[in-house]
Amino acid sequence: MEFDTGAVEAEVRAAFDGYEAALGANDVAALTGYFWQSPKAVRLMTEGGLYGIEAIAAFRKGRDVSDIARDLLRVDIVALGPDVAVATAEYRRRGSGRRGAQSQVWVRRPEGWRIASAHVSLGAAG
C-alpha cells in the first residue's frame, strides 16, 4: 500500500503536540478528547492499566499534577499506514528530574487523529 508517510507523520506530530500542550496545561477535557472515545481505548502505566475511555477520563480528573511539567528529549513518529501511526517519546520531568518514556498508537477517526493505546513508564525519583 502506498501512502504519503511524511504527510501522515506531520499530521500525527501536530496531534501529538496538541496533546502535549494539553498535558502541560492539565486540560482534562482536551486530554480525554485526544483518546479514542471507546471502551477499547487503553492507557498502560507502571501502576497498572486503564481500560476504556471512562477509566482514562476518571484517572485524568483525579491525577496529582504537582510534577507534570516536562521537557521532551526525543519524539519519533512512524506512519504504519494512511490511518495509523506510532508516536514514541522520552522526557524528563522538570521538578523531580525523573525520566520517562511513552508510546502511543494513533488512529485516524472521523473526528481526527486519536490515541487508541498508550503506554507510559516513569522512572524512580532520584
pTM, whole model, 2 decimals? 0.93
Q: How deeply is 1 buried, as exposed, middle or buried, from its count of CB atoms within 10 A (0-12, 13-18, 19+)?
A: exposed
pLDDT tens sequence across 72-113: 999 999 999 999 999 999 999 999 999 999 999 999 999 999
Residue 124 has pLDDT above 90, yes or no: no
Q: How deeply is 16 buried, as exposed, middle or buried, from its count of CB atoms within 10 A (0-12, 13-18, 19+)?
A: buried
How many Å apart are CA 115 and CA 111, to the nearest integer? 12
pLDDT tens sequence across 25-81: 999 999 999 999 999 999 999 889 999 999 999 999 988 888 889 999 999 999 999
Q: Please state which CATH number belongs to domain 5-122.
A: 3.10.450.50
